[in-house]
Amino acid sequence: MSGKLWGGRFQKSAEQWVDEFGASIGFDQQLVTEDLEGSIAHVTMLGETGILSKEEVNTIKDGLEQLKVKAHNNELTFSVANEDIHLNLEKMLIDLVGPVGGKLHTGRSRNDQVATDMHLFLKKRVKEVVELIAKFQETIVEKAEANIDTLAPGYTHLQRAQPISFAHHLMTYFWMLQRDKERFNESVKRIDISPLGAGALAGTTFPIDRELSAKLMGFSNVYQNSMDAVSDRDFIVEFLSNSSLLMAHLSRFAEEIILWSSEEFKFVELDDAFSTGSSIMPQKKNPDMAELIRGKAGRVYGNLMGLLTVLKGIPLAYNKDMQEDKEGMFDTLHTIVGALKIFEGMVRTMTVSKDTLNKAVHQDFSNATELADYLATKGMPFREAHAVTGKLVFLCIQRGIYLLDLSLEDLQEASNLIEADVYDVLAPEAAVKRRHSLGGTGFDQVKIQIANAKEKLTLN
């Protein structure tokens, strides 16, 4: 006998170091609440269906409730010898209520049990993630609202392209996060399914009621195939994939904040509370939090690749490989929750240097498109207007000035279509204002965009 709950057919025990390699209790203890929740639903169902007597059910339930309190107070001591959270809790239950505790496992297996725990766990956590995303979106909207009139250079290829409202730039991240939120929300319907009662793989001979236990746990659905129920980890892959895309968005935003807070840009200043100093260079104020978030995108992608790779070759149904689904998921959850909280605070407290941004669009050629459009409106073919403007840009570069500094004579020498009204057109404010196509950066469009965003937030 090996002394294990499953030890009947064994003649000797594994050595401790072997147990340690196989154990998941070091990390799956994070499922303690869900495991107890699942067990309470299961034993209730066993009572309702007459598989266990009311008395047995009451005793077991009482024991599970006691374990819940202990878990809540951090009073449970887990052991590697009991391998995982399921066996640890079952052992504790038997120690607490006696051999009747051994009846809890009637009609179920650890395979459907662990899958149930993961579904319960993620369903709850995904909702928390969605709330955090929404909170961050609110902060973005607030920052955007305060910067509708803030002019900023818009970039392509990291070269100044066209002037924009800084709010428009910020709001881009709102929409990325909106899609993230929608993806997480939509994934809930694939998490909200109960695998409990699938047994090891084939179902069970006991007259269980899977729909009842599902309902008791708050699941809307049950898996239709017991083998699928115990071997599906798609919902975890989906969580990791949604998290990866979220991290890609956060990482892009982080990269911009890192650039913007540099001496070269100086568009924003991060609050001291979200910055760090250098141990050697006293002048430094580093955007460590943004850098870390950018870096942490890597580990989340890694977790996604890790699980996809674990799953790709395993035959049906449960295989121990699947125990490898947990650490990456816990780590991802921890990472995205931390990143979202930090990012929200970082953006809420950052100062936008409106003057620097404003100066930037007055000292560049991002109004060149305006001149080309101006000439095209006056009847010149756009291709020609583009060339004329390009020549004027070159002239300015040679003289070390900008388009607005050119005299009317200089401009008219390039094209007699140009009149004095060109100066109004070339003003960056005008360039922004005139872009009032739907979804454009025009101030009025940005206001509409923000109003629509706010409406999305109320719907969540």
Write out the catalytic residue numbers: 157, 278
Site string for ligand ARG, 165-204 (x = CB under 6 A): ----------------------------------------
Site string for ligand ARG, 100-139 (x = CB under 6 A): ----------xx--x-------------------------
Whose structure tokens read 């309702």? 48
How far is the C-alpha of 110 from the C-alpha of 230, rounded, in Å? Answer: 9
Shortest reach from residue 100's CB to ligand ARG, in Å: 23
By CB under 6 A, residue 320 contacts ligand ARG: yes
Beta-sheet pairing, 193-194 with 221-222: parallel
Site string for ligand ARG, 30-69 (x = CB under 6 A): ----------------------------------------
Site string for ligand ARG, 268-297 (x = CB under 6 A): ------------------------------
**Span between the terminal Cα atoms of the chain, in Å:** 56
**Residues sharing a CB contact under 8 Å with residue 287, sequence separation 6 or more, in sequence order:** 257, 258, 261, 270, 274, 275
By CB under 6 A, residue 90 contacts ligand ARG: no
For ligand ARG, which residue of 59, 187, 323, 332 counts as binding (CB under 6 A)? 323
How far is the C-alpha of 399 from the C-alpha of 286, rounded, in Å? Answer: 37
Whose structure tokens read 């430094």? 284
DSSP 115-163: HHHHHHHHHHHHHHHHHHHHHHHHHHHHHHHTTTT-EEEEEETTEEEEE
Q: Which two tokens stand for residue 205?
A: 């001979």
For ligand ARG, which residue of 56, 84, 112, 370 counts as binding (CB under 6 A)? 84
Residue 45 vs 87, nearer CB to ligand ARG: 87
Q: If binding means CB under 6 A, how many residues of this protein chain bind ligand ARG?
A: 11
Helices (H), 192-233: 210-216, 226-231
Beta-sheet pairing, 268-269 with 193-194: unpaired
By CB under 6 A, residue 88 contacts ligand ARG: no
Backbone angles phi, psi at 364, to 5 degrees: -160, -175
Shortest reach from residue 191's CB to ligand ARG, in Å: 17
Residue 318 vs 402, nearer CB to ligand ARG: 318
- Report the interface residues with ligand ARG, using CB under 6 A: 24, 28, 84, 86, 110-111, 114, 318, 320, 322-323
